[in-house]
Amino acid sequence: MAHRVCPWWMGYLLAGPIRRLLENPKKMLSGFVEPDMTVLDVGCAMGFFTLPTARMVGPQGRVIAVDLQEKMLNSLRRRARRAGLLERMELRTCSDTDLGVDDLTNQVDLALAFHVVHEVPDASGFFAQLYPAIKPGGRLLLAEPEGHISTDEYAVTEATAQSAGFASLEQPEFRRSRATLFEKR
Ligand SMILES: C[S@@+](CC[C@H](N)C(=O)[O-])C[C@H]1O[C@@H](n2cnc3c(N)ncnc32)[C@H](O)[C@@H]1O
């Protein structure tokens, strides 16, 4: 499986209007994100999912956005400030093996991991670090890009999440992705 990290300049395309024509983040997240939730967006890049999530959780909600690349987070910070959403967001830089979420034990209602796991060198460690941050009964929404990740590779990723303790609930239909909604039991 590929572990090459997406270059920072790709962040502009990933958060840009062309992608929005193909994928509607608000529609994709509706039914998963609710007002007042605490949502953790891992591998957030420049915020294609982070900003709509911050709107959907509302002023009493919280979005913690984590990424490896400072340049992704700098752009996300500017976009969030312009949109008046920065106050309900917390941006964190992580390392490739440490998500830096140890302080969030049982605080997260929903974790988003969109198109990031194939870039992570240790998927087991990734899911093992996410697990304690999520509340019991909380959810993890995983999506991997169909173009990069085969059915077999995705099955391995899903099994890795299950080994960390996540139970698969459903496989949402997202265009250009393979996706699973998990629950922390
Ligand atoms: C392909 S982009 C996807 C971005 C976003 N989730 C989306 O769907 O638009 C992957 C992002 O994950 C970040 N990333 C890669 N490895 C990571 C790691 N080990 N921990 C956290 N973020 C990572 C990259 O810096 C990049 O911003």
> Residue 40 sits in which domain range?
24-184
Quick one: pLDDT at residue 132?
Answer: 98
Cα of 66 from ligand 1 centre, angstroms: 8
- Position 7 in a domain: no
Tell me the whole-structure pTM to 2 decimals: 0.97
The per-residue pLDDT for range 129-155, each reduced to its tens digit, is 999 999 999 999 999 999 999 999 999
- Position 38 in a domain: yes
- Position 17 in a domain: no
120 pLDDT tier (thresholds 50, 70, 90) = very high
Quick one: pLDDT at residue 35?
Answer: 98
Domain count, the chain: 1
Q: Is 126 exposed, middle or buried (0-12, 13-18, 19+ CB in 10 A)?
A: buried
Edge-to-edge strands of the sheet including 89-93?
89-93, 62-67, 38-42, 108-114, 134-145, 177-184, 166-170
Cα of 119 from ligand 1 centre, angstroms: 7
Q: Are strands 62-67 and 38-42 parallel, antiparallel or unpaired?
A: parallel
CATH number of the domain to which 94 belongs? 3.40.50.150
CA pseudo-torsion sign 38, 11, 118, 173? positive
Residues in contact with ligand 1 (CB, 6 Å cut-off): 5-6, 14, 42-45, 48-49, 66-69, 72, 94, 96, 114-116, 119-120
- Position 108 in a domain: yes
- Position 96 in a domain: yes
Report DSSP letters for 164-185, one per residue.
TTEEEEE----TTEEEEEEEE-
